[in-house]
C-alpha cells in the first residue's frame, strides 16, 4: 500500500476516533463529574453525609471499574440499543465508552476533590456558604488542576478503549490497524497507525499537563 | 465602658464518642473587648471556638451570638447568622484558586452583594489591612503575615459583630505575630470590633487581651477581666504571667501592684515599721491595661502593721502560710 492510498484511510479513521473520543469525553464529564462530587459530598464527614446512598454509588462505581472494557461493551449491548436504537456505528460505540469511562473518571474526580483542604471548606462554612456554594465555588475551583489532570488521563484511556470499541463498528484508528494491518498483512499501515496513536496520546497528555500546571496556584 | 454581651455561651458540653472535649463551659464576651482563651493542647479551646459559630454542634448547652440563639436556628438562618461572625484560621485557609481580591470577595458573593459594590468593598478592606495594591496576587505569592491579613480582611467583609481567631498567629514568627496582633488591636480600637481569640501563648494574652478564660480538661478554670484577675488572690493567671518560682516558700509574702511601678511603697513600709524586707524575686509585666508588678519578699519583724499598710496602699498581699 502506498502513502497516497494510506492517507485518506488514516484521515478517515482519525476522524472517527476523534468523534468517538470527543462525544464520550463530553458525556463522561456530564455524568462522571456529578458522580465524583456525590462520592465526596455524601461520604461520612462530607458536606451532606448520606452513607447508605454513598455505599450504593461506591459499589456501582467499583462494579463498573472492575469489568474489563471488552466484556462491558458486550454486556451492555441491550442498553446501547435502548439508548441509540442500534448497536453498530460511531454513535453506538459512544455508549459503552461512556459507561466504561464514567466510573473511572468519577474516582479521579473524587480523589481530586479530596485533595482540597478541609480548612478551606470549613472556612467557607464559617462564612455561611451553603453546600451548593461550597461545591461550586470552593471544591470544584480548588480542585480544578486535579480535575484537568484526571480528565486528561480519562481521554487517554478513552483513546485506548475506542480502539477496542472500533472493532464493533465504530471504525477509528484501532479498527484500521486491526483490519488492514492484522487481517490483511499491511504491516506498514499498522506501524503508521500505531505511531499516529502514540503521537495523539502524547499531544493530549502534554496539553493536559501544561493546562493543569498553568491553572495551579500553589 | 461596655455592656452588651456579644457572645453568651452557657452549659456547653461537647462529646466525641467517649472523649469529653467540653465539660460545662460558660463564657460571656462583651461588646468591644478582646477576649482570650488560654490553655494547653487538648484543653478544648478549638472545640469551644468552633461551637461559637456552630461549625461543631454542641452536645448540650446554648450559644447566643449578637442576641441570637444559634443552636435553635434552621440551617438557612444559621448561615445568615454566620455571615456576621468573622473567623480567622491558623493556616489562613485561603482559596488558592482565587486572587487576594477574589478571596476577600468570597464572603461578599456568599452574601449576594452586587459586583460593583463588591469591588469597592474589597478595595476598602485591603486598604484597611495594609494590602492595597496586592489584590491581583495569588496567596502563594504572599508571606505568612500577609496571608493572615488577607484572612482578616475576608473575615471583616460582612461587618461582623465578632471576630473568632483560632491560633491566628501560631504559624508566624515573633515579629510578624506582633504586627498581626497590632492590626487586631487597631481594628478593635477603631471599629470597636469584638474579638474572641484562642491561643496557647501567654504573650498574646498579655499584649492584647482585656479579658481571659483559662481552660483545662474541657472546663474553664478561671475567667474575667485581666485587671480583676490580677487583683484576685490565688489567681492562676497571675501565677502564669509572672515568672516567680511556684509554690511560694512558706512564710513568704507575694505583693502584686498595679499602676505606677515607681511608687516607693516597699521602702516606705520599711521606714515606717520595724520590719526587714528582703526581695526573693519579682518582675514587672506590661499588660494591655497597663503595667503590673509582682514581688516575692520575706518580711521579718513587726509584720502585721506593715502588711496592713501595704494593703491599704492598694497592693494585693498574699501570705504563704
Ligand atoms: N473531631 C474530633 N473527633 C474526636 N475528638 C476530637 C475532635 N476534635 C477534638 N477532639 C478532642 O477533643 C479534645 C479537645 O480538642 P481541641 O482541639 O478543642 O483542643 P485545643 O485546646 O484546641 O488543643 P490545641 O491547642 O492542640 O489546638 C481533645 O481531646 C481532642 O482529641
Ligand atoms: Mg486547637
Check whether residue B184 and residue B274 sit in a common domain: no
Give the list of residues 6+ apart from residue A213 with CB closer than 8 angstroms, or none.
Answer: A145
User: What is the chain A residue with the closest CA to B99?
Assistant: A217
Name the DSSP class of A137. Answer: I
Distance separating alpha carbons of residues B53 and B50, to the nearest angstrom: 6
Distance separating alpha carbons of residues B122 and B307, to the nearest angstrom: 59
Last residue of a domain, one of B226, B250, B277: B226
Contacts of A216 in chain B (CB under 8 A): 96
Nearest partner of B221 among B208, B210, B234, judged by Cα: B234
Check whether residue B56 and residue B131 sit in a common domain: yes
Q: Is B16 in the pocket of ligand 1 (CB under 6 A)?
A: yes
Find the distance separating the first CA and the last CA of chain A, reported in whole Å: 52
The bridge status of strand B211-216 relative to strand B275-287 is unpaired
Residue B232 falls inside a structural domain: no
Residue B99 falls inside a structural domain: yes
- Structure confidence at residue B261 (pLDDT): 60
Check whether residue B126 and residue B266 sit in a common domain: no
Query: Cα angle vertex B170, ends B168, B172, to 5°?
Result: 95
Check whether residue B101 and residue B199 sit in a common domain: yes
Question: Is residue A1's pLDDT more than 80?
Answer: no
Q: Is B213 in the pocket of ligand 1 (CB under 6 A)?
A: no
pLDDT, tens digit, for every residue of B2-33?
468 999 999 999 999 999 999 999 999 999 99
B103 alpha-carbon distance from chain centroid: 26
Check whether residue B289 and residue B142 sit in a common domain: no
Q: Across the A/B interface, how many CB contacts are shorter than 8 Å? A: 66
Query: Cα angle vertex B87, ends B169, B106, to 5°?
Result: 115
- Structure confidence at residue B262 (pLDDT): 65
* pLDDT, mean of residues A110-130: 96
Q: Quick one: what percent of chain B has pLDDT higher than 70?
A: 98
The CATH number of the domain where B27 resides is what? 3.40.50.300
Last residue of a domain, one of B226, B260, B292: B226
The bridge status of strand B34-39 relative to strand B194-199 is parallel
Question: Is residue B236's pLDDT more than 60?
Answer: yes
Question: Is residue B259's pLDDT more than 80?
Answer: no
Name the DSSP class of B259. Answer: S
Q: Nearest Cβ partner of A141 from B87, B89, B97? A: B97
Distance separating alpha carbons of residues A20 and A174, to the nearest angstrom: 12
- Structure confidence at residue B1 (pLDDT): 44
Contacts of B94 in chain A (CB under 8 A): 120
pLDDT, tens digit, for every residue of B143-201?
999 999 999 999 999 999 999 999 999 989 999 999 999 999 999 999 999 999 999 88
Contacts of B139 in chain A (CB under 8 A): 217
Distance separating alpha carbons of residues A171 and A163, to the nearest angstrom: 8
Whether residue A142 and residue B96 make contact (CB cut-off 8 A), yes or no, is yes
Check whether residue B279 and residue B154 sit in a common domain: no
Check whether residue B61 and residue B166 sit in a common domain: yes
- Is 1.10.3720.10 the CATH number for A3-215? yes
pLDDT, tens digit, for every residue of B160-169?
999 999 999 9
Check whether residue B58 and residue B199 sit in a common domain: yes
The CATH number of the domain where B248 resides is what? 3.30.70.260
Q: With residue A189 as reference, give the H or E element that holds it.
A: helix A187-215
Check whether residue B108 and residue B176 sit in a common domain: yes
Residue B236 falls inside a structural domain: no
Ligand nearest to the CA of B215: 1
User: What is the chain B residue with the closest CA to A137?
Assistant: B106
Check whether residue B110 and residue B215 sit in a common domain: yes
Q: Is B200 in the pocket of ligand 1 (CB under 6 A)?
A: yes
Containing domain of residue B111, as a range?
Answer: 5-226
Residue B122 falls inside a structural domain: yes
Sign of CA dihedral B153, B158, B160, B163: negative
Distance from CA of A176 to the nearest CA of B (A): 43
- Structure confidence at residue A85 (pLDDT): 87
The CA B175 to ligand 1 mean position distance, Å, reads 28
Distance from CA of A208 to the nearest CA of B (A): 18
- Structure confidence at residue A202 (pLDDT): 95
Last residue of a domain, one of B194, B226, B258: B226
Ligand nearest to the CA of B56: 1
pLDDT, tens digit, for every residue of A166-203?
777 778 888 888 888 778 888 888 889 889 999 999 99
Whether residue B87 and residue A123 make contact (CB cut-off 8 A), yes or no, is yes
Lowest model confidence (mean pLDDT) among A152-161, B59-68, B158-167, B264-273? B264-273
Check whether residue B201 and residue B275 sit in a common domain: no
Query: Over chain A, what is the mean pLDDT?
Result: 92
Domain ranges of chain A: 3-215
Residue B235 falls inside a structural domain: no
Q: Is B200 on the interface with A (CB under 8 A)?
A: no
Q: Nearest Cβ partner of A217 from B109, B111, B138? A: B138
Contacts of A136 in chain B (CB under 8 A): none
Distance from CA of A130 to the nearest CA of B (A): 7
Using most ligand atoms within 8 A of CB, pick from B47, B52, B216 the residue to mutate for ligand 1: B47
Question: Is residue B260's pLDDT more than 80?
Answer: no
Check whether residue B128 and residue B43 sit in a common domain: yes
B95, B143 Cβ separation under 8 angstroms: no
Q: Is B7 in the pocket of ligand 1 (CB under 6 A)?
A: no
Whether residue B139 and residue A133 make contact (CB cut-off 8 A), yes or no, is no
Domain count, chain B: 2
Nearest CA to ligand 1 atom 28: B42
pLDDT, tens digit, for every residue of B209-233?
999 999 999 999 999 999 889 888 8
Give the list of residues 6+ apart from residue B23 with CB closer than 8 angstroms, or none.
Answer: B13, B44, B217, B218, B219
- 0.80 exceeded by the pTM? yes
Question: Is residue B91's pLDDT more than 50?
Answer: yes
Nearest partner of A92 among A193, A191, A186, A24, judged by Cα: A24
User: What is the chain A residue with the closest CA to B53?
Assistant: A126
- Structure confidence at residue A43 (pLDDT): 96
> What is the grid cell recorded at B279?
526581695
Q: Quick one: what percent of chain B has pLDDT higher than 90?
A: 68
Contacts of A131 in chain B (CB under 8 A): none
Q: Is B55 in the pocket of ligand 1 (CB under 6 A)?
A: no
pLDDT, tens digit, for every residue of B265-309?
888 888 888 888 888 888 888 887 778 888 899 888 888 888 888
Amino acid at each position: 500500500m502506498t502513502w497516497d492510498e494510506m492517507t485518506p484511510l488514516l484521515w478517515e479513521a482519525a476522524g472517527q476516533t476523534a468523534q468517538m473520543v470527543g462525544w464520550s469525553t463530553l458525556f463522561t464529564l456530564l455524568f462522571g463529574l456529578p458522580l465524583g462530587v456525590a462520592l465526596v459530598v455524601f461520604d461520612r464527614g462530607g458536606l451532606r453525609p448520606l452513607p447508605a446512598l454513598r455505599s450504593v454509588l461506591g459499589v456501582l462505581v467499583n462494579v463498573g471499574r472492575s469489568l474489563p472494557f471488552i466484556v462491558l461493551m458486550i454486556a451492555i449491548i441491550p442498553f446501547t440499543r435502548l439508548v441509540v436504537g442500534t448497536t453498530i456505528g460511531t454513535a453506538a460505540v459512544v455508549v459503552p465508552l461512556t459507561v466504561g469511562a464514567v466510573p473511572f473518571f468519577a474516582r479521579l474526580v473524587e480523589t481530586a476533590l479530596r485533595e482540597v483542604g478541609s480548612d478551606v471548606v470549613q472556612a467557607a462554612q464559617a462564612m455561611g456558604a451553603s453546600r451548593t456554594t461550597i461545591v461550586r465555588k470552593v471544591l470544584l475551583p480548588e480542585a480544578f488542576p486535579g480535575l484537568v489532570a484526571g480528565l486528561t488521563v480519562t481521554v487517554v484511556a478513552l483513546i485506548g478503549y475506542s480502539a477496542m470499541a472500533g472493532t464493533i463498528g465504530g471504525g477509528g484508528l484501532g479498527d484500521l490497524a486491526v483490519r488492514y494491518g492484522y487481517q490483511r498483512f499491511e504491516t506498514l499501515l499498522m506501524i503508521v497507525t500505531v505511531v499516529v496513536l502514540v503521537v495523539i496520546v502524547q499531544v493530549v497528555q502534554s496539553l493536559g499537563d501544561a493546562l493543569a500546571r498553568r491553572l495551579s496556584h500553589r | 465602658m461596655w455592656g452588651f454581651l456579644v457572645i453568651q455561651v452557657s452549659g456547653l458540653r461537647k462529646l466525641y464518642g467517649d472523649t469529653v472535649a467540653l465539660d460545662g463551659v460558660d463564657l460571656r464576651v462583651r461588646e468591644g473587648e478582646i477576649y482570650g482563651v488560654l490553655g494547653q493542647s487538648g484543653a478544648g479551646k478549638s472545640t469551644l471556638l468552633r461551637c461559637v459559630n456552630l461549625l461543631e454542634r454542641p452536645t448540650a448547652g446554648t450559644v447566643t451570638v449578637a442576641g441570637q440563639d444559634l443552636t435553635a436556628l434552621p440551617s438557612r438562618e444559621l448561615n445568615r447568622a454566620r455571615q456576621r461572625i468573622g473567623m480567622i484560621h491558623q493556616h489562613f485557609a485561603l482559596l488558592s484558586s482565587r486572587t487576594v481580591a477574589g478571596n476577600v470577595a468570597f464572603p461578599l458573593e456568599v452574601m449576594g452583594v452586587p459586583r460593583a459594590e463588591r469591588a469597592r468593598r474589597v478595595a476598602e478592606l485591603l486598604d484597611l489591612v495594609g494590602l492595597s495594591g496586592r489584590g491581583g496576587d495569588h496567596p502563594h505569592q504572599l508571606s505568612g503575615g500577609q496571608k493572615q491579613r488577607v484572612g482578616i480582611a475576608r473575615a471583616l467583609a460582612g461587618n461582623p459583630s465578632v471576630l473568632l481567631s483560632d491560633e491566628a498567629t501560631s504559624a508566624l514568627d515573633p515579629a510578624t505575630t506582633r504586627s498581626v496582633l497590632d492590626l487586631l488591636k487597631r481594628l478593635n480600637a477603631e471599629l470597636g470590633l469584638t474579638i474572641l481569640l484562642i491561643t496557647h501563648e501567654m504573650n498574646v494574652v498579655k499584649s492584647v487581651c482585656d479579658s481571659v478564660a483559662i481552660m483545662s480538661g474541657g472546663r474553664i478554670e478561671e475567667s474575667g477581666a485581666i485587671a480583676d484577675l490580677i487583683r484576685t488572690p490565688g489567681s492562676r493567671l497571675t501565677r502564669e504571667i509572672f515568672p516567680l518560682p511556684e509554690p511560694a516558700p512558706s512564710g513568704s509574702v507575694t505583693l502584686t501592684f498595679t499602676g505606677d511601678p515607681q511608687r516607693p511603697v516597699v521602702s516606705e513600709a520599711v521606714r515606717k515599721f520595724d520590719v526587714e524586707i528582703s526581695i526573693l524575686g519579682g518582675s514587672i509585666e506590661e499588660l494591655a491595661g497597663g503595667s503590673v508588678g509582682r514581688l516575692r519578699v520575706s518580711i521579718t519583724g513587726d509584720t502585721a502593721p506593715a502588711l496592713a499598710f501595704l494593703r491599704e496602699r492598694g497592693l494585693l498581699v498574699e501570705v504563704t502560710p
